Amino acid sequence: MNVKNPKKHFIAYLINLAGVLVLFFLLMGLFKSNVLGARTAYLMGICTTACYTIVMVTSLNILVGVMGEFSLGHAGFMSVGAYASAIVTNALADAGLPTILLFVIALLVGGVASAITGVLVGIPALRLRGDYLAIVTVAFAEIIRVAFCNFEITGGGRTMSGIAKLSNFYWCFWVTVICVTIMYMFVRSRFGRTVKAIREDYIAASASGVNVTFYKVMTFTFSAFFAGVAGAMYAHYMTAMIPTIFNFNYSAEFLTEVIIGGTGSLTGSIIGAALLSALPELMRQFSTYRMLAYSIVLVLVMIFKPGGIFGTYEFSLTRILKKLLSGELFKGKKKLTDEMGGAAHE
Amino acid sequence: MQLALFIQSVINGLNQGAIYALIALGYTMVYGIIRMINFAHGDFIMVGAYTLFYTIPLMISAGMPAWLAVIVAIAVCVIVGVTVEVVAYRPVRGQGSMTALITALAMSLFLENLAMVLFGANPKSVPAIFTLPTVNFLGATLQTKYLLTFGIGAVIMILLQLFVKKTKLGKAMRAVPQDKEASTLMGIHVNKIITTTFAIGSGLAAVAALMYCSTYPRCTTDMGSMMGLKAFIAAVLGGIGSIPGAMLGGLVVGLIEIFVKVYIAPGWYEAITYGLLIIVLLVKPSGILGKNVGEKV
């Protein structure tokens, strides 16, 4: 990515868009043709779950992989998004807005509410680093949970139900595509590179004139925004929720998926999130063993491949196309010198 | 009546605090030596509690006092703690704090879910451990076992402090975090010292489990993680790495929790504990009794 070439970029984006469209129509064809019969709705549910999990895990990966800091309280941001959006859609339920507009409003409200929380949490918390930051994020998430258990508007510790069912698979798919694209562009942007510089050596970055706190808080907010969007999708898919769901274990689950997928690799996050959220659904009889298996895999990954399964590798559709065209895919692993950026996300 | 409630709350708080302090000691010792938050430490308590649940009936049927079950619990916890250290933590040592933290988290999840598979999700109620009389004091009913908890906590803290300050092994424990390489050169077997620290910490967790079960006679698979988190807060509050700090932090957290529950807002006590942690970390990250260590560029 040394030489900027807008035309090449544009082509890369087009190719990726085509890839995403192909995937979308494949899934849509699968669901619409009713090949699976009665199981279609069930499968669509799993795919919707996968969608918001992907957004959650990718947004957490922005923190863990790109910024190099931990958040063990990401479920807290998700709950802020979920509750804020649910309250707003409940209030707007009689306004007669078209569903798509209501859904977009819900997502934005969820994201913005979560981002505001992100700023409020980030400014004090990001003065700390490493272990202490991890603990403080847990503390904030717990405070949020306790608050939602006590506020009357969030159900006062009881299940909040009757939220409009706005999320369906097709919308969630596109929301996920948009979210992941924005996050991908963020990582590749000037801003993202600065954040990576902070990750590598924050003292050196600060000596080079980077306002470390500002960049960290902004990244934290950015990540929180998408966690909120994921929360909004969750709320309008589940239609009922209780604050105790968004506990420490839920946050730990997301972190597990980030780490197993690969810290710093959005591809890893997407594949990790999609598989790990779909697998337990597909093998329901083994659900008790799910987290047990996760934790064992996590320890093994830590011992044998600390960077996660994908490491920092990004799947790139353009690269594969190029290799296919030049016939190099079958010739072994000869490296292409002018690798193009623009990875496919799906 | 007002006074009675106050005294009652103080006693309850000290009891709760002594339990936190015992757990916090385990955190502080491990963090002090390898700079790692041992998330699994809370789950050692859960292991201890389940061991008590299964061994106390055996003890009673054998005609022995119930609290002797703690010896079995200590043995089991030490075995689990050392196994976790050797199998999971040792291979990732030296790969950075992030890897260590995730491994610790993974071990915590592992123990919790293993317990879920082995013992089921239903809470188990532990039989009564101590049958001690209650005393009336200024109109407040004092449970003698609460005083016992507090006493045991204090005695263990003093013994631990003496152990770390006076014995050769304790000296080695203090040397390792200062400089690993230099300690090796001085003939200290670093891995052995770390394993010993884990063994002591896990043993303390078993004692904490006994204390916890005598106050709240039930054990669940997730009892460890939340209590562990609060005990960790206590350790940070007092100054991590400092043994008196852990005791002090534990008591402060316990007292705050009970007082908020009784006097301010029952639903909010956890939030206030966590809020306190955040404030302490922001104002004085090294804790009340901790030493401030600057960072070298």
Q: What share of chain A is helix, strand, coil (3-state, %, to 5)?
A: 75, 0, 25
Residue among A14, A190, A211, A2 nearest A126 (CA): A211
Scan residues 184-243 of B and list those with Cβ closer than 8 Å to A: 222, 225-226, 229, 232-233, 236
Angle, in degrees to the nearest 10, between helices A99-125 and B269-283? 50
- Residues of chain A in contact with residue B114, where contact means CB-CB under 8 angstroms, are 292
pLDDT of residue A182: 92
CB-based contact B236 A132, cutoff 8 Å: yes
SS3 B195: helix
CB-based contact B106 A299, cutoff 8 Å: yes
**Residue B242: other Cβ atoms inside 10 A:** 21
State how far Cα B149 lies from the chain centre. Answer: 13
In a domain, A8, yes or no: no
The three-state (H, E, C) secondary structure of A94-147, written as one string: HHCCCHHHHHHHHHHHHHHHHHHHHHHHHHHHCCCCHHHHHHHHHHHHHHHHHH
Lowest mean pLDDT among A298-312, B18-32, B135-149, B150-164: B135-149
State how far Cα B195 lies from the chain centre. Answer: 17
Three-point CA angle A257, A263, A267, nearest 5°: 75
* pLDDT exceeds cutoff 80 at A77: yes
Structural domain tally of chain A? 1
Higher pLDDT, A127 or A51: A51
In a domain, A52, yes or no: yes
Angle, in degrees to the nearest 10, between helices A40-61 and A74-92? 120
What's the Rg (C-alpha) of chain A?
Answer: 20
Convert the pLDDT of each residue in B80-89 to its tens digit: 999 999 999 9
Are the C-beta atoms of residues B70 and B207 closer than 8 Å to each other? yes
Give the minimum alpha-carbon distance from B270 to chain A in angstroms, rounded to a whole number.
7
Name the average pLDDT for chain A.
Answer: 83
* pLDDT exceeds cutoff 60 at B61: yes
Give the minimum alpha-carbon distance from B107 to chain A in angstroms, rounded to a whole number.
7
In chain B, whose CA is at the least distance from the CA of A70? B98
In a domain, A335, yes or no: no
pLDDT of residue A334: 41
Greatest pairwise CA separation for chain B in angstroms: 63
Give the minimum alpha-carbon distance from B271 to chain A in angstroms, rounded to a whole number.
5
Q: Cα(B259)–Cα(B6) distance, rounded to whole angstroms? A: 9
User: What number of residues does chain A have?
Assistant: 346
**Through-space distance between the first and last CA atoms of chain B, rounded to whole angstroms:** 58
Q: Cα(A172)–Cα(A50) distance, rounded to whole angstroms? A: 10
Tokens 């670093």, located at residue: B190
The count of CB pairs under 8 A between chains A and B is 123
Are the C-beta atoms of residues B195 and B85 closer than 8 Å to each other? yes
- Residues of chain A in contact with residue B297, where contact means CB-CB under 8 angstroms, are 203
- Residues of chain A in contact with residue B229, where contact means CB-CB under 8 angstroms, are 135, 138, 142, 248
Range of the domain at A217: 36-314
CB-based contact A306 B92, cutoff 8 Å: yes
Dihedral sign (CA A273, A275, A280, A284): positive
Q: Cα(A241)–Cα(A235) distance, rounded to whole angstroms? A: 7
Q: Cα(A91)–Cα(B197) distance, rounded to whole angstroms? A: 56
In a domain, A4, yes or no: no
In a domain, A24, yes or no: no
- Residues of chain B in contact with residue A125, where contact means CB-CB under 8 angstroms, are 278
Q: Is B98 at the interface with chain A, CB within 8 A? A: yes
Tokens 């939030």, located at residue: B271
Q: Is B175 at the interface with chain A, CB within 8 A? A: no
Cα–Cα distances in Å, from A327 out to A14, A72, A330, A342, B63? Answer: 22, 45, 6, 20, 80
Query: What's the CATH number where A145 sits?
Result: 1.10.3470
pLDDT of residue A330: 53
Query: What six digits make up the tokens of B125?
Result: 């109620």
Q: Cα(A197)–Cα(A263) distance, rounded to whole angstroms? A: 16
In a domain, A180, yes or no: yes
Convert the pLDDT of each residue in A23-37 to its tens digit: 888 888 877 777 777
Are the C-beta atoms of residues B21 and B289 closer than 8 Å to each other? no
Q: Cα(A20)–Cα(A344) distance, rounded to whole angstroms? A: 8
Give the minimum alpha-carbon distance from B86 to chain A in angstroms, rounded to a whole number.
12
Half-sphere exposure of B291 (CA within 13 A, CB side): 7
Convert the pLDDT of each residue in A154-201 to its tens digit: 777 788 877 888 878 888 899 999 999 999 899 989 999 999 999 888
Are the C-beta atoms of residues A193 and A181 closer than 8 Å to each other? no
CB-based contact B92 A127, cutoff 8 Å: no
The per-type count for chain B, helices as H runs and strands as E runs, is 12, 4
Q: Cα(A156)–Cα(A147) distance, rounded to whole angstroms? A: 9
Convert the pLDDT of each residue in B126-160 to its tens digit: 877 777 767 776 666 777 778 888 888 889 889 98
Q: Cα(A306)–Cα(B97) distance, rounded to whole angstroms? A: 12
CB-based contact B275 A146, cutoff 8 Å: no
Task: Find the CB nearest B285 among A132, A138, A259.
Answer: A132
One-letter identity of residue B202:
S
In chain B, whose CA is at the least distance from the CA of A297? B106
- Residues of chain A in contact with residue B265, where contact means CB-CB under 8 angstroms, are 150
Three-point CA angle A23, A24, A27, nearest 5°: 85
* pLDDT exceeds cutoff 50 at A345: no
> A327 falls in which pLDDT band (50, 70, 90)?
low
Tokens 């918390």, located at residue: A125
Tokens 């807008």, located at residue: A6
Convert the pLDDT of each residue in B184-213 to its tens digit: 999 899 999 999 999 999 999 999 888 888
In a domain, A6, yes or no: no
Query: What six digits make up the tokens of B150?
Result: 């507090």
| B225, containing H or E segment | helix B223-238
* pLDDT exceeds cutoff 50 at A341: no
Q: Cα(A15)–Cα(B70) distance, rounded to whole angstroms? A: 65
CB-based contact B278 A138, cutoff 8 Å: no
Task: Find the CB nearest B113 among A128, A140, A291.
Answer: A291
Higher pLDDT, B289 or A103: A103
Q: Cα(B176)–Cα(B181) distance, rounded to whole angstroms? A: 8
For chain A, list residues whose CB is within 8 angstroms of any CB belonging to chain B: 68, 70, 72, 124-125, 127-128, 130-132, 134-136, 138-140, 142-143, 146-147, 149-150, 157, 203, 248-249, 252, 255-256, 259, 288-289, 291-292, 294-296, 298-299, 302-303, 306
Convert the pLDDT of each residue in A113-162 to its tens digit: 999 999 999 988 888 877 788 888 988 998 998 888 888 777 777 888 77
Enumerate the β-bridge partners of residue A240.
A161
- Fill in the DSSP letter of residue B142: E
Phi, psi of B168 (to 5 degrees): -70, -40
> A287 falls in which pLDDT band (50, 70, 90)?
low
Cα–Cα distances in Å, from A107 out to A77, A117, A274? Answer: 13, 15, 21
pLDDT of residue A332: 46
> B1 falls in which pLDDT band (50, 70, 90)?
low
CB-based contact A131 B97, cutoff 8 Å: yes
Q: What is the ipTM of this complex?
A: 0.82
Convert the pLDDT of each residue in B208-240 to its tens digit: 888 888 888 888 888 887 788 888 888 888 888
One-letter identity of residue B240:
I
Q: Whole-model pTM above 0.90?
A: no
pLDDT of residue A229: 95
CB-based contact A294 B109, cutoff 8 Å: yes
In a domain, A53, yes or no: yes
Q: Cα(A271)–Cα(A262) distance, rounded to whole angstroms? A: 10
Q: Cα(A203)–Cα(B129) distance, rounded to whole angstroms? A: 54
Angle, in degrees to the nearest 10, between helices B2-34 and B41-61? 120
Are the C-beta atoms of residues A166 and A234 closer than 8 Å to each other? no
Best mutation site among B256, B274, B280 for testing chain A: the one with the most A CBs within 10 Å?
Answer: B274
Listed in sequence order, the residues at least 6 apart from B192 whose beta carbon sits closer than 8 Å to its beta carbon are none
Listed in sequence order, the residues at least 6 apart from B256 whose beta carbon sits closer than 8 Å to its beta carbon are B13, B269, B272, B273, B276
SS3 B34: helix
